[in-house]
Copies of this chain bind each other. A is one copy, B any other.
Amino acid sequence: MNRSPLENKPLPPEDRVGYALVGLGKLTLNELVPAFRLSNCSKLTALVSDDREKALEIARGLGLEEKDVYDYADYDRLAERPDVNAVYIVLPNALHREYTERAARIGKHVLCEKPLATSPEDAETMVRACAEANRLLMTAYRMQYTPQLWAARDLIEKGDLGRLKFIEAVDGQTEDDPGAWRLKRDLAGGGALPDIGLYCLNTARFLTGEEPYEVFAYQYSTPGDERFKEVEEAVYWTMRFPSGAVAHCTCSYDVAEAKYLRAHGQKGWLSLDPAFSYEGLRLEVVTEEGREVRQMREEDQFRLEIDHFSECILGGKRPFTPGEEGVQDQRLMAAIYQSAAEGKPVRVERLEGKDLFRGAPPRRG
């Protein structure tokens, strides 16, 4: 490569990092495929799915060929493909571990959808597997690559809001398909918490740069609602951070869509509303100087995330949201469930320091 990917110009296709997309659900079709089309240093070179018909159709639209379409049994044959440098795993949560381990074994870097796994132990195993194979593992926390969240973090860091005191975060939507894998415990590992509550958890950690040391949670499922027989409908929790800041978080699978976050400081506050959506993130800042909406060019969040990983691969850097970042969230989610089950606050290890589990910050626009 004779050109730095850092110039924000598209690399020639032959210089880009090649990916196999593993799993062809709605997220892949509606978000990831368009993101790859817009990417600067990434390209799709293979698809993995058991729905060969669908996979072939998508492949055709992308200019790929029959040979680029794999099924899950074939997966390990990606080893033979030098133009597949990494896999992007978009499978039900419970399969993340297996497909990460297999990818590491055949020498591929791994970008894995969130949540990283269905338990802290699985997540740790995945980190180890990639480390031993000397491959990069990144948790696909798209939010941590958005200009809006970085602008929010900068505001807090620079002290524009004064000392941060508390965060309110809500991620609610309606899960109305009783057959969805997200409602099966053995596939999803949990309900609203790992799917959407994780955004509240992860964003609160990102904005503060801190790690919570205590959580208290209520969990709720409407009695008799068939959808929530295996996994929870909603979790309401509170987290305490070493600085004294507190976060109230709420996730629910049975409310009209609502996704917002507010961070309150001594001298001002900021609102992200909507906060966790794929597009249209809106940052508003209220200080003594008034109320201001920060207008930003809309960026494809998934493109930013994928290109960050490609840049790390090309440049040999640790991703900003590596496997370890996902492991920490798994530990905290386990503590949240434990608190809800025991009816009392649960302490986790108290860690001081900033961005303890994160790698190289993403390039700023």
Q: Report Cα–Cα, A287/B286, bound state, in Å.
A: 16
Query: What residue in chain B is nearest A296 (Cβ atoms)?
Result: B280
Contacts of A256 in B (CB 8 A): 161-162, 264-269, 286-288
Interface residues in A206-250 (C-beta closer than 8 Å to B): 216, 218, 220, 222-223, 234, 236, 238, 240, 244, 246, 248, 250
The answer to whether A134 has its CB under 8 Å from any CB of chain B is: no
Whether B234 contacts A218 by the Cβ 8 Å rule is no
Q: Report Cα–Cα, A287/B256, bound state, in Å.
A: 7
Query: Contact flags (1/0) for A249-261 with B, using CB distance below 8 Å?
Result: 0101011101000
Q: Which residues on A are within 8 Å of B, measured CB to CB?
A: 9-13, 34, 37-38, 40, 57, 60-63, 161-163, 165-166, 168, 170, 172, 174, 216, 218, 220, 222-223, 234, 236, 238, 240, 244, 246, 248, 250, 252, 254-256, 258, 262, 264-269, 279-280, 285-295, 297-298, 343-345
Contacts of A161 in B (CB 8 A): 256
Whether B166 contacts A250 by the Cβ 8 Å rule is yes
Nearest 3 interchain pairs by C-beta:
A10-B61, A290-B292, A248-B248
Whether B236 contacts A218 by the Cβ 8 Å rule is no
A63 in complex: contacting residue of B12, B220, B286, CB < 8 Å: B12
Contacts of A60 in B (CB 8 A): 12
Distance in Å: Cβ of A335 to nearest Cβ of chain B: 15
Beyond A236-B248, A256-B287, A290-B293, 7 additional pairs, beta carbon < 8 A: A9-B57, A220-B244, A248-B250, A256-B266, A258-B264, A344-B344, A344-B345
